[in-house]
Structure 1
Amino acid sequence: MNASYQTLQNRIVELENELAGMRAAMLNTENHAQDHRTTGLGNEFQAASAYEKNCWNETQARIRESEERFKVIANIAPVLIWLSSPDKQCYFFNKGWLDFTGRTMEQENGFGWAEGVHEEDFERCLQIYNTNFDARQEFSMNYRLRRFDGEYRWISDRGVPQYTESGVFLGYVGGGMDIHDQINFAESLEKEVQNRTLQLKKSEEFLQSILNTTSNSIASYEAVYDDAGEIYDFRILYSNEETYSQHATRFESIIGRMCSEVYPEIFEKGVFEKLVKCINTGKPDAYVTDYQNSNGTFWFDASIESHGNRVTVTARNITEELEADLQLKELNQKLKIQNSIFNHSEENANFGSFALTLATNKLECSDNLYRLVGHLPQEFTPSFEQFISFLHPGDRQRAIRDGMRALETRNLVQNDYRVITKDGSLKYLRLSGKFIKEGGKQIMIGAMQDVTKDIQLNEALRLKNIELKRNNEELASFSYVASHDLQEPLRKIRAFSSRILEREQHFSDITKDYFNRIVSAATRMQKLIEALLSYSNTGSSEASFVPADLNKILEDVKTDLEDLIEDKNVRIEASELPVLPVIPLQFQQLLQNLIGNSIKYSKPQEPPVIEIHAELTHEQEKNGLYWKISVSDNGIGFDQRYENRIFDLFQRLHGKSEFEGTGIGLAICKKIAQNHHGFMSAKGVIGKGSTFSVYLPAETGK
């Protein structure tokens, strides 16, 4: 896995985390509002709710923007990207994956992707996926995946668990890379190095035998002087057949001929000057030069010795040696690059590798393994004892036992250990590996990965779960207090105040007015408590969906409101409503609240007219088909600016002296719509009336 692939995958993880964070922010906003509602902050929360609603809308917009950006980046990424939900089912594959497999998103979704895994890798691949998924831990694995042309190619796949900021597990994001050519290259490279090493050994033995056989590598030249006593050429006194074989065009007899005629190149490459210098000084010399003919270029390593006016040149053909050396350098360069890629991958993945030869107890470690314990590469001599000294005292005995058990069973079990680094900080390292045989030797190879963040996140999640459990218990206690302890004093206040007014006739009108206000306030408080309990119970997960005729539910609502309808002379006009899977009691409460509101906020001198109808509509923003059930009236209406505000808890657009109510009815309607995977909207015109609409998914409706 190269650096660009790692960087791209990290960016994808960041985008997925960003989306998770935004969804968590929306949940936190709702929870924050719930906390204020349950503590009864009243008017102070009214000011904050509008800000929270704006944050909610902004967060939704950012989520849509981030989701689109994520899809664009994922689809142009030169890697295979997948996403899975908490139930292990994969629900997204990028264009790179689909182009590679030649399959559609529908074919790959769920566990469809596993159909392309090679049968020899399938069980291992699935075990790694399920084991790590159940443990909520990062994993990587190599397996063969069927390409669109039917060829199975090796894929390096990495999966990373995703959480919200509050610790809710969202599933996995993963990325794969085609490493088929790398694996084949590494295998062929290893074989080539072995073959080249053997060839070099044979070449060295052969060249040494040539060097030891002087008759195959010797030539003798005699200096030729001009009138001034200067050497201007050399006459060939002797040259063996080895020399001839490298100069086939001159294989005819060259004895007695001049070097300028047979070897003119020595005058161009500085060899002639060295021969002259050797005779003039009497000191031996050496040179390396090349000769060319129709058979190619040949390199020689030669030494010169003088004997009066003669020189003996002993030459060794190093052509094959130089070629082998050049090829070996190229192989070493490729190995260096490959090692650099692997080392960089270790740094990016935050793990280090090691190899322990059991026969010699020799331990070799990668550079990044040193860094994981806070040291520089090669800063200390690695050993089992040395690494035991880095462990937290509480983990040392367990590590020793695990090591002894691994040596006995030849099975290294994955374990986590606490490590104290050089600077004193604490890390959690995860040890994994296996035993292999190489050259007849038993070797334990493995890796140590820094999982500190994973451990810390798991611990934070555990503490959050404890806190959530405690909060749930406190909420349950509050519900009990609200339904029993808080209502009992209110009932007594109402009862005793009423008795005093009935029995005591001497009170002044002012005193009676005070008592009536006490009874009225206690009544409103009791209704508010009951409404809060109703709102709290609306979110209960125990309710189940059943197909229900909404026309029948409407008739039940009209029966419940029969007295109020007659008193207000209400006319209700309803069209045919559909049969939908709903929670009957909750949906009946929703319709009752909406119709009750229309009656409550009717005009004093005009009989209320309420129209109810349903229609199928495609909602662009939700990208789906919905049943839109609307309740319209001819009442006092409201200012459209307050469309979102009226669905919040305790939000009233009119004073309590004008209209009775707790300010919770529409909030309950909104929550019921959300329980049905839908939403609500409101439209109003002051003095004309209002329309409240609830949208329910239409996939299973009639």
Structure 2
Amino acid sequence: MGLITSNFLNLESVFQSILENSLDAVWAFDKEFKLIAFNSTFPSTYSLFFGKEFDETKSLLEAVNEEKYEKWKQYYVRALKERFKVGYEYKLNNRSLYYDLLFNPIIESDQIVGSSVTCKDVTNRKHLEKAIKDNREQLTETKEEKKEEANLLGKIQKELEVSRENEARLKRVIDELDSGFWEWNVEKDIMKFNSRYTEILGYNTDELCGGKEVWESLIHPEDKNKVLEKFKLNLDGSTSKFNSEHRLLAKSGEWIWVDECGIVTKSDENGNPLLVNGRISDITLKKNTIETLSELEDRFYHLADYLPFMIWMNDKQNKGLYFNKAWLDYRGASLDNEINNNWKDSIHPDDYDYWKSVSSDAFAKKEEFELEYRLKNSDGEYAWVLDHGIPRFLKSGAFIGFIGAAFDVSDRKILSNQLLESETKFNEITSVIGEGIFVENLKGETEFINPEFSRILGWEEKDLVGKKLHEVIHNLPNIENEDNHDCPLNRVLITGETYRISEDYFKHVNGELVPVSYVASPMLRNGEIIGAVTAFHDIRARKEYEAEIERFVEELQFSKDLVEENAKELVDLNRKLRDSEEKLRELNANKDKFFSIISHDLKSPFTSLLGFSEYLVEDLDDLTKDEIKEFAANIYKAGKNVFNLLENLLQWSRIQTGRICYSPTTFSLTELSESIIALYIVNATKKKVKLISEITDELNIFADKFMIDTVLRNLISNAIKFTKTGNEIRIQAVETESEYRISVKDNGVGMEDEIKEKLFKISEHVTTKGTDQEKGTGLGLILCKEFVEKNGGKIWVESEVGKGSEFIFTISKKQSKISGQN
């Protein structure tokens, strides 16, 4: 077993090696008589002396039986005061064993902190001495007696040889150790240094020769007085040994930090020292490490003082070591006061026992803890703090205390109490109001129902908590439009909008459908949907009243005053006449424009059709194949123009007569734009025009898909017509809070301002040929305007001659506005 040390004793490697190679038992203890170090020989000596198995966790006095207790206690108590040596006789099987016990106090910072014990087995020596003494008294001059004396002397010689071997062995160990050793012969004033000593300081062996003055000359001037004073006290016998950390001069001129100790190993009969032995260890690295650790400690304290929360630290005895500035400011106390605080007067009386129990238990188990308690602040008032402690361990695993952080949570406690009070009030209020209330989480699972819910629908809270409420009370396959996705109870969790439903049905626990009206509202936290709360009202009585009222109204309808009926009819008739007159004027003007367009725009393509077809009929035999193909292409273009014109005229007339209904649905604008691009890609390719959709994200809108499709097709067709070869057309869409903004942008010929003002008016017929002389009907943009307005939006154009045009239209996101248009 290797040498074991505690944090209390810091033995150097040199002494560890010597002790391990020693045949003597060596052990050390602290002021509480607890074992803090021992070598491999000690456990067997322990068992021999005390007849017990070695247990290093017990106090040394616990191992001593009653018979020997007082003697060993006197030894140990005296060893904490002075250095002394005693002989100890142990009886084993009627045979005496003899030991010399050398007790030597351990001194740190001029204070005795413990003692070491060296137990040397001198049994053989004692027996030899006794045998010599007995034999000298009894021996005669006979040959037999001389022979016995010779044998005795032979044994003594062997003992001396063993002693010399041990001495040589110890010398070899010393020479191989990392420490330097010296020996001072006081009488001759000769000081010798081993090779390791000179090696540490960088000298050759012959460079350090002489007396004590050689050694003194190596000591740093600032350390010399202190070192020599300690050395003198040891020589005088005032201290058991000389021990000092100081600087010695190396050959290189550097100052080397060393730990040097010495002891008087031989004295004359008057106690005057004759021989002093000592050793040094290079502790430069240790000193540098301590300095670095000190700097790191200062940095930690500096950083901790700037943290906005409270930091504390204690040692392994649970005694305070450190409190940061935030703690001291909070407490209005000094560091010394807090370190010595017993906390009974600082922690609220109602919390003290709980605090002490949790913290003491965590300390005993060396486990992390967290607790809340009330701590007295600088104003002398108790305020809530959250305290979190973590155990501290060295790299070796040794426990060295706790470090913790405390936070002032008074405001949070107030809010928590307010929340609890608010919840209590909420429960009290919801228990007495006449509305059924339930709360769902984001998954649609029930978290709360009030008593009125149970009264109306018969369900108990324990039967619903954790279940998806829609599936229990609202999954009604026999009711129209009860799609899970369209159900307001589910939609509120997706859209975050409030839904007010005037009439619906919830399922009673007995299966009955109960008519209700309800409001479903989202619950938001930091803008995120976390659930929904719904309040509903049983409208069975209202439904009965409404049925009665409806019957009553039907009866009243037949008995209304005839004059009132006639007056109302007259007012309505006059209003209708005025409306009809205005519409007739508008229709008459549109009719005139309509026929004007027909007479003008139909005449030209039909003239072309008749002219080309007549020429083909009369001169077919004289025409080449290419000429026939050219005539056929012209006839196709004229026919297509007639078809487009008739299609736009029919669409426009259907709008005017109200035969096109507004039918909004949710559809993907991204997919719609891609399908229209695919439709016109051939026309664009012919003109070497690029069609680019910049609607990259999936964009779903709620509008009449047919109308939006017609608008986009007209705008893209026009853009191709007025874009020159090699240019590009971009389709873009932007979503705002209230609308969708869609645009078709080209870098074509552009237009004048006066043309822009006429584009969307039926009374101003505007048609322009494209860059390849393509013809238009003049009605496409008018159709676009009608369709966009049907979807609650508006359309306009931004254009500059020679740079191109951008047609922009919007679609309203407001459902009420769209419904109004319908």
Same fold (TM over 0.5): no
Instruction: Please state which structure has a larger fraction of its residues in helix.
Output: 1
Bigger-Rg structure (1/2): 2
Alignment TM-score, normalising by the size of structure 2: 0.28
TM-score by length of 1: 0.32
